[in-house]
Structure 1
């Protein structure tokens, strides 16, 4: 049986950072276990390749949630990255941290050291900003390259200008003093190529002799000796293998994978585990609870304008030139990550902070769910930034193995539905303002006949999805449902086990979750390496 000093389960956004930091000490033997495979594929590297990855088992776990009572009983797809880099190798590459108030809320909920002043230095330490943004808020020496998209579609500027007509300011830095407004998103790219957490933190140090990376390896359960975790049982190359750990094991399997591994190992809500035939090692009722995600509604519009992205005879020249333009200068259709522009706005329900986020697509999003749709147009996704609805992940058995039941409970708090209806109305107003109106679009979804609040709500119940930001299912804190200690990142009541990924977030931040997950990995590494005042981020 092989023995390591540390085992990191999951090579995603947090796990890659953590494995880098732990293996920097040559005296520590570190194993990284990743269920997925390599990221070496043109669809991963080329920004436009994201459309060809969703739903494919090579890249995507392709989870599907449980029927949602408030969404007409529909089962919502939950795409998560299944390769080195995790979802940072599958996402739209947006670099968003959330608002400072999001982290101050964590601090006020009992997570000392996680207020904005505690996490900002950590964000800056990770960031390699190439844009020249405010050095008080951005770092330039970190491994994660943050840049502008190389060739934004010109319609993105029309979208931003239309927002200005409605009083939404042009925002050049959504990680600056204010999120409010519309603009071009910063992206995790280097020279126009996707730059995932794996590319930034793990790939450059793969040659370290004390670092071992296992891909294609499924974690079945943690091995416990009383209240201490001593190893991991995995399925590797088709056979069961047990790996021992003399130090700490860190779960970085994400907000879906982490609670499932915990529960499969007997750590979680006791009664539910016993129902599934799992021997309870530690009754922790919060495992799998507190699931939060951004519920999202889409407007998609047809337009004859070839200024938008699309497939048509009139656009044949651009399509044929796309691979050459990308190869020679990282320009053209292959350079787009589709949601190049967007921003944050306040509905009439908002308080001090924006309560909706836009992801603008300068191309036609299929109203039939197709990967590719003939013609041109544009679309916008609108999501509820700080939802009140809270779901859970339950343990179930499928074909003899443990699997997640993902129950978002979207719209279980009716306030989320009210906010999203207002967000859709605001998005429509942007599309109706000049210069967007000059594109002479014809709305396909929800459609021109869907006008009243009740009609919009009915549309959302039939069509709303998620923008894939699940968090919170092993939250840190000190209340009855807390799973993780906020200073040490150790699982309450279990020795030798820590958690570092989006599952520890006590609430959902107002924005995309990739960058915050990396920050969480760094904070955990600092705690493990004994940084003085690791809990404060200093």
Structure 2
């Protein structure tokens, strides 16, 4: 029997931070259990290498959602990181916090201490922003944030001009005073390498004698004495082990694995658990419910000038960018596929942006089977403009299918299941065409490839985005935070309602999805959660 002060399940965006913060003073022993293996892989560290990890079972859970009526019956691929750093080791690295109103809504829903003014100092402490510190940004923190404006493809600058021609302001920092507008995304890299949570937090913590990290260790059950969590049972190399936590067990396994582990341990929807032969320790229908996620789609155009397709498709181009990356740590391989972006409102009457934009200076209409599209650009010059909804009202769920911890849970996204989400996306794709018709971009467009000029009616546009939309990999809220125990899983201090010695610290606690990419907010949640634990120590 192993004994530690704290056991953390998951080494992802939140868990890595919790491990570093709780071990920093040297007074507490910390065990981190990670179901996957090492992050020291070339295509993990190389920023654009996430195309190689998109389907790789060595680093990816490779979840598949249920066939979704809202997505024309498609069963969506859900990649999640299964390695040190979790999904921060395989994501697109876009560094977005969300809007002030997102966090103020968390606070106003009864979660004291989670308003924007509460979390802004944490975001600033986390960051080492290349552009320097100001009222909104930090410098000197563990996560280096890179400004790509001097590196983007020339087409990206035309996209920025086009945005201004449809009355979107040029925005130098989407995490600054305002989010609305078009600009170049900042990404979490440093010196041409991915700045994952593992690199920023866990690797430094692993140098401490009071931290132990077990890789390839699948947590199978939370151990309880009465209603108090006292440890974790886990499997490694075909053997079962147990570890005891003298102070707390912390679930940082993410929005899929955290509710899965709770349910396997008898915490969740009582009727469902009993139907699977699982003894119910604490019935709570909210475990695995309230799933929220952003849905996205690309419109693709054939260009009249060279794009990254002509550089990334031929063997000599791959060789050139590869040598540039190896020698100089820059070029296309040191960036995200989303160079430009932005936020806009589908209706001027809306108080704040409700849609996110992505500009990609390449196209992938013809991907090779089983391969992430960014690895096989089209043979002709092309580019894409994508978008995703910021605050969808559709809700899904994540429920275990069986008592076997090795079986993937059932993921029901329920995408576009509300009229609000359908109407919003319809207005958004019409805006994309308006953007493409601007003088700045139209002069560079030979033709619209997807969905194509024949798709014009509202019915056809809706049918198209149902067929071609999919997750943009931001699932949250499956163990949501709230003061009302009848509609949440954890308190504002991230303690699981009705139990002792157990907290959840990851994106599953988000009361609602934020307006933008979720990785920065997940890292913030790890920092905040560790603070709460330290405040509650006797």
TM-score, normalised via structure 1 length = 0.95
1:316–1:265 distance in 2 versus 1, CA, 3 Å? closer
The answer to whether the 8 Å contact 2:110/2:482 transfers is yes
1:336–1:122 distance in 2 versus 1, CA, 3 Å? closer
> Is 2:115 the counterpart of 1:115?
yes
Aligned to 1:174: 174
Report deviation, 1:31: 0.3
Aligned to 1:536: none
Alignment of 1:64-143 (within 5 A): 64-132=64-132, 135-143=134-142
Aligned to 1:356: 355
1:316–1:162 distance in 2 versus 1, CA, 3 Å? farther
Report deviation, 1:441: 3.4
Alignment of 1:225-264 (within 5 A): 225-264=225-264
Q: Which of the residues 400, 411, 416 maps onto 2:416?
A: 411
Aligned to 2:274: 274
The answer to whether the 8 Å contact 1:319/1:333 transfers is no
Q: Which of the residues 372, 378, 390 maps onto 1:374?
A: 378
The answer to whether the 8 Å contact 1:63/1:80 transfers is yes
- Rounded Cα–Cα distance in structure 2 between residues aligned with 1:445 and 1:332: 28
> Is 2:382 the counterpart of 1:386?
no
Secondary structure in 1 matching 2:535: coil
The answer to whether the 8 Å contact 1:50/1:92 transfers is yes
Report deviation, 1:166: 0.8
- Rounded Cα–Cα distance in structure 1 between residues aligned with 2:349 and 2:507: 25
Secondary structure in 2 matching 1:525: helix
Aligned to 1:222: 222
- Rounded Cα–Cα distance in structure 2 between residues aligned with 1:352 and 1:90: 34
* 1:18-65 deviation line (CA, Å, top 9, x unaligned): 000111132211000111111111111111211111011112111011
The number of aligned residues is: 529
Q: Which of the residues 516, 519, 524 maps onto 2:529?
A: 524
> Is 2:425 the counterpart of 1:420?
yes
Alignment of 1:36-75 (within 5 A): 36-75=36-75
> Is 2:183 the counterpart of 1:207?
no
- Rounded Cα–Cα distance in structure 1 between residues aligned with 2:52 and 2:453: 31
Structure 1 unaligned spans of 5+: 533-538
Report deviation, 1:398: 8.4
* 1:275-325 deviation line (CA, Å, top 9, x unaligned): 111100001111001100001122122235224344588x66543321222
Secondary structure in 2 matching 1:489: coil
1:490–1:312 distance in 2 versus 1, CA, 3 Å? closer
Aligned to 2:335: 336
- Rounded Cα–Cα distance in structure 1 between residues aligned with 2:388 and 2:366: 18
- Rounded Cα–Cα distance in structure 1 between residues aligned with 2:536 and 2:399: 35
Q: CA RMSD in A?
A: 1.8
- Rounded Cα–Cα distance in structure 2 between residues aligned with 1:320 and 1:83: 28
Report deviation, 1:92: 0.8
> Is 2:306 the counterpart of 1:301?
no
- Rounded Cα–Cα distance in structure 1 between residues aligned with 2:531 and 2:135: 22
Report deviation, 1:120: 0.6
1:367–1:309 distance in 2 versus 1, CA, 3 Å? closer
TM-score, normalised via structure 2 length = 0.95
The answer to whether the 8 Å contact 1:4/1:29 transfers is yes
- Rounded Cα–Cα distance in structure 2 between residues aligned with 1:516 and 1:221: 27
> Is 2:497 the counterpart of 1:492?
yes
The answer to whether the 8 Å contact 2:307/2:362 transfers is no
- Rounded Cα–Cα distance in structure 2 between residues aligned with 1:130 and 1:348: 34
Alignment of 1:313-324 (within 5 A): 318-324=317-323
The answer to whether the 8 Å contact 1:30/1:211 transfers is yes
Report deviation, 1:349: 7.3
